[in-house]
Amino acid sequence: MKTADLIAEAISLPVEERAMVVDSILKSLNQPTTDIDEKWALVAKKRLAELRAGELEAVPGDEVFRKIWNRFSA
């Protein structure tokens, strides 16, 4: 299969499946560090549980990135 055909096939997939393909390809380029990934997964699960329990408030992504941009553009 030619690369162009493979790309065309991937692009025709539903968005969820395209995301899985991209994730798999990226993982093949940058092998995850299992220990670190497991720690980050635990942090993410804890924060999600806190968010769902109403223990913390979500901050919109654009606001987060604006604050980061302001901090580093000065």
pLDDT at residue 51, rounded to an integer: 93
**The pLDDT of residue 32:** 67
* Domain boundaries, given as residue ranges, for the chain: 1-31, 34-74
> What is the value of pTM for the model shown?
0.46
Helix (H) or strand (E) holding 19: helix 15-29
What are the DSSP calls for 20-71, one per residue?
HHHHHHHHHHS---HHHHHHHHHHHHHHHHHHHTTSS----HHHHHHHHHHH
Name the helix (H) or strand (E) containing 6: helix 3-11
Residues of the chain below pLDDT 50: none
pLDDT value, residue 6: 94
